[in-house]
Amino acid sequence: EAQVTQNPRYLITVTGKKLTVTCSQNMNHEYMSWYRQDPGLGLRQIYYSMNVEVTDKGDVPEGYKVSRKEKRNFPLILESPSPNQTSLYFCASSPRDRSYTFGSGTRLTVV
């Protein structure tokens, strides 16, 4: 089944403890993105990647890192999470000139 898989679905962590949210797509898509969804703010882009080893900042990149070593994987790294990064995170992928397919989301709580 063609899909974008994020793990974990739910995560509660403490301030300052490094974490990684994984994202994998099995559709051979070139483009991948990370978004966060917050009440009243909609979906805001964190980082995006045009292809392997090509990444760039979105609208809200502070406190996040990404890497794209392989086409299928696009992990989101929080080196030192803070409570303001408590949010619902979505990974998405797309081929050129098509719509993005989204994962099911990761609900992160930083205490």
Partner 1 sequence: DQQVKQNSPSLSVQEGRISILNCDYTNSMFDYFLWYKKYPAEGPTFLISISSIKDKNEDGRFTVFLNKSAKHLSLHIVPSQPGDSAVYFCAARVGGGADGLTFGKGTHLIIQP
Instruction: Using CB under 8 A, list all residues that contact partner 1.
Output: 4, 30-31, 33, 35, 40-45, 48, 50, 56, 58-59, 90, 92, 94, 96-105
| Closest CB to partner 1 among residues 13, 101 | 101
Q: Which two tokens stand for residue 100?
A: 């993005």
Please state the closest distance from residue 29 (CB atom) to partner 1, in A: 10
Please state the closest distance from residue 58 (CB atom) to partner 1, in A: 6
Is 52 strand, coil or helix?
Answer: coil
Number of H helices, E strands in the chain: 0, 11
Distance CA(92)–CA(102), nearest Å, equals 4
Please state the closest distance from residue 20 (CB atom) to partner 1, in A: 19
